[in-house]
Amino acid sequence: MHTSTSARTAPASAALTANRFRWRVVDIVVAAVLGVAVGLVFWGWNTVGGLWFAAMDGLTPGLGGIAVGIWLIGGVIGGLIIRKPGAALLVEVIAAIVSALIGNVWGITTVVSGLAQGLGAELIFLAFLYLRFTLPVAMLAGVGAGIGAWVNELFLSANIERTIEFNLIYLATLVVSGALLAGLVGWLLVRALAATGALSRFAAGREARRDV
């Protein structure tokens, strides 16, 4: 009897896991909408964040990384809302494409940056098996995106040719900015959006209703 029950439970558990990871049409649509919306945020931040970056870097080379967090937020928001493998990466990349198409000083390299940043956030959600979406996990996803940006810019922006001091300061500021501007702000934005009822078809929306 015990063996028979176990045999039935295993396929049922596997089916539940497969369903949890399967993308629905609504997931794809929302990922696209989020990507476009975040891409517009990126476009606006290209001026504000760019000026802040330049001002901070003028004070201490590498300190400009403190302004980068907003450009990392797509992966965090995508992962927190959709909660499926690839969501963080997809939303960040779509946002980067939108930013590049609208126009910025970095051009097509923006998409490469989006890939690196989205992958950094994605790996954090993967590390928690897409089961935990708390504030600490969101902040870690922001940090992961920041580290992805740092590794990418070592080569894409030739930062590897700059001093160790610069790269260490830049990494530290990316970590802080990723945790706060991408992780914390992203988590708060998702909570605020969920509170409106707009995420009722997602676990993030159902959790918000339970917390009220």
pTM above 0.95, yes or no: no
Res. 75: pLDDT tops 80: yes
SS3 category, 84? coil
Give the per-residue SS3 of the chain. Answer: CHHHHHHHHHHHHHHHHHHHHCCCHHHHHHHHHHHHHHHHHHHHHHHHHHHHHHHHHHHCCCHHHHHHHHHHHHHHHHHHHHCCCCHHHHHHHHHHHHHHHHCCCCCCHHHHHHHHHHHHHHHHHHHCCCCCCCHHHHHHHHHHHHHHHHHHHHHHCCHHHCCHHHHHHHHHHHHHHHHHHHHHHHHHHHHHHHHCCCCCCCHHHHHHHHHC
Res. 212: pLDDT tops 80: no
Please say whether the structural domain 28-211 has been given the CATH code 3.30.310: no
Segment 206-210 shows an average pLDDT of: 70
Instruction: Report the alpha-carbon distance of residue 89 to residue 9 in Å, rounded.
Output: 33
Is residue 56 within 8 Å of 67, Cβ to Cβ?
yes
pLDDT confidence tier of residue 72, bands split at 50, 70 and 90: very high
Q: What is the pLDDT of residues 20-53, one digit of tens each?
A: 889 999 999 999 999 999 999 999 999 999 999 9
Segment 129-140 shows an average pLDDT of: 97
Res. 62: pLDDT tops 70: yes
Q: What is the pLDDT of residues 85-111, one digit of tens each?
A: 999 999 999 999 999 999 888 888 999
Res. 116: pLDDT tops 90: yes
Res. 5: pLDDT tops 60: no
Q: Which residue has the higher pLDDT, 131 or 209?
A: 131
